[in-house]
Amino acid sequence: MESVFSWYAVYTAARAEKKVKERLDQIGIENYLPLRTEYRVWSDRKKKVSVPLISGYIFVHIKEETFVPVLTTPGVVTFLKEKGKAVAIPAEQIERLRFVENQADEPLEISYEDIPAGTLVEVVRGKLAGFQGEMVQIRDKYRIVLRLEKLGCALITVAASCVEKVKNYSKKGYVLGFLFIFVTP
């Protein structure tokens, strides 16, 4: 049976994500490194820099027989695994992450907090219309959570006027699991 291309999360050495991306590009392996922009302040200047959205990880789109070239790439530590086997990430999640990365009005951030369940809501206006998730309150801020158990959560801000309680909830919003949407008043 012929294997198919799948997306995998690859764990990298500390702060080596961009270098690993360059090396994977050089050997022709399709990859995706989600980035966010932030400002870094030094004593003499302030600079806008791109940093990995999910620290320590890069995504690769490969067949199983391409694991070895990826693993032998300098800076690569291992694949994200569950029960000793590399975990394939659904292509829809990667596409949604790319969409959110490009469409978010606010910079994306990561949270690894354990989020309790809450009221089901949907974004009804704006660039993220159609996303569904759970409304939760963390440290006096209301947020919408779309879960991905394996990696963490991406964070963006959405006005409270853009969300409504969901009557007939479907799991379609869970396609992008690592999206937190901050809801502002």
pLDDT tens track for 144-162? 665 544 555 555 556 666 7
Whether 179 shows a pLDDT value over 60: the answer reads no
- Mind listing the domains of the chain with CATH numbers? 6-89 (3.30.70.940), 109-184 (2.30.30)
Whether 122 shows a pLDDT value over 80: the answer reads no
Q: What is the pLDDT of residue 114?
A: 54
8 Å CB contact between 120 and 132: yes
Residue 118: pLDDT band with limits 50, 70, 90:
low
- Highest mean pLDDT among 24-33, 36-45, 141-150, 155-164 belongs to 24-33
Residue 8: pLDDT band with limits 50, 70, 90:
very high
Which pTM does this prediction carry? 0.71
Whether 172 shows a pLDDT value over 50: the answer reads no
Distance CA 146, CA 162 (A): 16
